[in-house]
Chains A and B, each alone.
Chain A
Amino acid sequence: MTQPEPTPTSEAVLGLEHVSKHFGSITALNDVSLRLRPGEVLALVGDNGAGKTTVVRLLSGLFKPDSGSVIVKGMPTVLQHPDQVIKAGVATVFQDLALVEPLNVARNVFLGHEPSKLGWVRRRKMEHDAEALFSSLSIKVPAMTSTVAMLSGGQRQGVAIARGVLEGVQAVLMDEPTAALGVRETARVGEIIAGLRQRGLGVLLVSHDLDFVFHVADRIQVMRLGRTAGVVAVKATDRSQVVHMITGTVRGSESEAGV
């Protein structure tokens, strides 16, 4: 995205336009559109196999769409490599967290982007910057030199998010951030997400945890069998409607309701 700035065709900081994706004879996504705006939390929910993970992988550059386009900062973009997405300002926090357990917090936060001079890693600067980042996000871990293997689930989530939110990021993709977390730690992640929204970042939250989704999200996009079953504003809906949309017993509004 370093070409002379053309005007964005969409207000979305991150999104999909009529995207389909097949794996052999299996259709993972069928004409799915999605718009994540700055300063909002959009939750993506759906049953197993609904296509949520495929959406995340498309948006983080791990997959390419068969048709339709990926939108980054309002512009249709062909993502060739995960690095390109990171440079464009999209951070992904994966389901399995993608942390390197034997390494420490600072090394994980700067994984692949260690501050260095001629290849020599500036370890003190790295630890100092990581410390500053954690305190600005009010994420708490024992120390920047703690090994990730020794952290609790919530602390690991904090590390993964902190890595995602390194400078210049405008959107954060979170894949099941509360899976395997206790109540207290889930609440903690909720606070971190609220903090990201307050900074004007768009957060796309993929989650099974409807309580959590209703607690932190602004809008909910429901996926079912590779299609969008509906997009609803949290304020204009309730749990049972969303559950019905997930299971397919009621079809929600196809347009972006209650925006």
Chain B
Amino acid sequence: MSNQLSSGQVGQSETPASAERNQSSIMRRTRGLRESGLGKFARATVLAPEFSLVIAIAIFGAITTTRNDSFLTYSNLILVVKSAAPTFVVAITMTFVLIGGGIDLSVGSMAGLGGLVTAMALQDHLPIILAICLGIVVCGAVGAGIGVVITKFHIPALIVTLGGLYAIRGVVLILTNSQQVFPLPSAFDAIGQSSLGDIPSLVFIAIGFGIIGHLALSKFKFGYHIRAIGGNAAAARAVGIKVDRMRIVLYALSGVGAAIAGILTTSFVGDGDPSFGQGMELSVIAAVIVGGASLFGAVGSVPGTALGVLFLALITNGFLLMRISANWQFVVQGIVVVAAVGVDQIRRIRIRKLSAG
């Protein structure tokens, strides 16, 4: 196959048309770039990794609707999107971390820390904007510290961020004496509780971060370099990309994303809860993986992550509406995560076989 393929491409005298004819059907099937117009668009859509996720969401939605017709109502769907908004913000930065070849288990505790630092600052009568900035800066700094430990002491990210998960939660409990922090100023609560028209502000905020994250990842040098260090760190280093610095920035960003999620939730709930964010790290990672990001780096996208977060939130909501025990929801979420990676793996193996065979 590879010989035939290269002979098709290598011959100098060939016209583009004959080269195209020679090009194997596999290349066309897997890339779909030589078609034109609508066909090209349709093909690219079907082949996008996000497509199967859209289908899965549609099937799940259809099943749920037949069991409970309040599923497909505006008020229910907007509730799902609203509840998923803070998770999405931290899932964006988790997408960056995974694409950069890392992992961050500390985001749940970090979200708790961000929310509480802000809540406590508000109780000390700091202006709202400063209190929010303080929560974000503290978590960003702790995240950068985690990044420094990972890159300078060569300790695996899994271990360092697992340590972070416990240590940061401990700090949160010490800071608050395990007590809830309330009341908070109503102007702060308004961030998470207000709506613009029929749409909650949280949704606008999440979409705003989503757009910024997507542009940073797919349009800017920064995003290109994240994929480079996640795909082949040695290659990135050899062309002069500062790999260690990039990694530290990624963990700092992850801390910032977690802090924003924690602050939004605190504002939405109306008080600072020291247990907030427990277990969040795994559901965030699950959502990002369902959204098509690879644990091996370089692969993933913000729109995919958005769909992953949405899918898992819809499962929670759908099970509630179908009156299936919440315990089953964990079973299904577990299966969905494994199935998502399985489908992706099968696709990848098939592509490799076809291109090498």
Complex Cα–Cα for A143 and B32 (A): 12
Q: A82 contacts B238, CB within 8 Å?
A: yes
Query: Which of A44-52, A182-190, A208-216, A246-254 is found at the contact surface with chain B?
Result: A182-190
Does B234 touch A at the CB level, under 8 Å?
yes
The residues of B that contact A163 with a CB separation of less than 8 Å are 239
Q: Is the interface of A mostly helix, strand, loop or mixed?
A: loop
Complex Cα–Cα for A55 and B69 (A): 71
The residues of B that contact A151 with a CB separation of less than 8 Å are 355
Q: Is the interface of B mostly helix, strand, loop or mixed?
A: helix
What are 13 contact pairs spanning A and B, CB under 8 A? Answer: A98-B232, A100-B231, A100-B236, A102-B299, A114-B224, A120-B221, A121-B220, A123-B219, A142-B31, A143-B31, A146-B27, A150-B355, A151-B355
Complex Cα–Cα for A150 and B26 (A): 10
Does B6 touch A at the CB level, under 8 Å?
yes
B interface residues with partner A (beta carbon < 8 Å): 2-3, 5-7, 9-10, 12, 23, 27, 30-31, 33, 219-222, 224-225, 227-228, 231-232, 234-241, 294, 297-299, 351-352, 355
**Best-buried of A82, A113, A150, A185 by chain B (most CB within 10 Å):** A150
The residues of B that contact A60 with a CB separation of less than 8 Å are 238
Q: A82-B239, A100-B235 are in contact. Are A150 and B7 (CB under 8 A)?
A: no
Q: A82 contacts B222, CB within 8 Å?
A: no
Q: B239 contacts A112, CB within 8 Å?
A: yes
* Total contacts A-B at CB 8 Å: 113
Q: B224 contacts A98, CB within 8 Å?
A: no
Q: B23 contacts A86, CB within 8 Å?
A: no
> Of B27, B219, B221, B294, which contacts A150 at CB under 8 A?
B27
Complex Cα–Cα for A193 and B246 (A): 35
Q: Which of A141-196 contact B (CB under 8 A)?
A: 141-143, 145-146, 149-155, 163, 182, 184-185, 188
**Best-buried of B221, B236, B355 by chain A (most CB within 10 Å):** B221
The residues of A that contact B6 with a CB separation of less than 8 Å are 140, 152, 154-155, 184-185, 188
Does A238 touch B at the CB level, under 8 Å?
no
Q: A102 contacts B30, CB within 8 Å?
A: no
The residues of A that contact B221 with a CB separation of less than 8 Å are 114, 116, 119-121
Complex Cα–Cα for A146 and B225 (A): 18
The residues of A that contact B9 with a CB separation of less than 8 Å are 140-142, 155
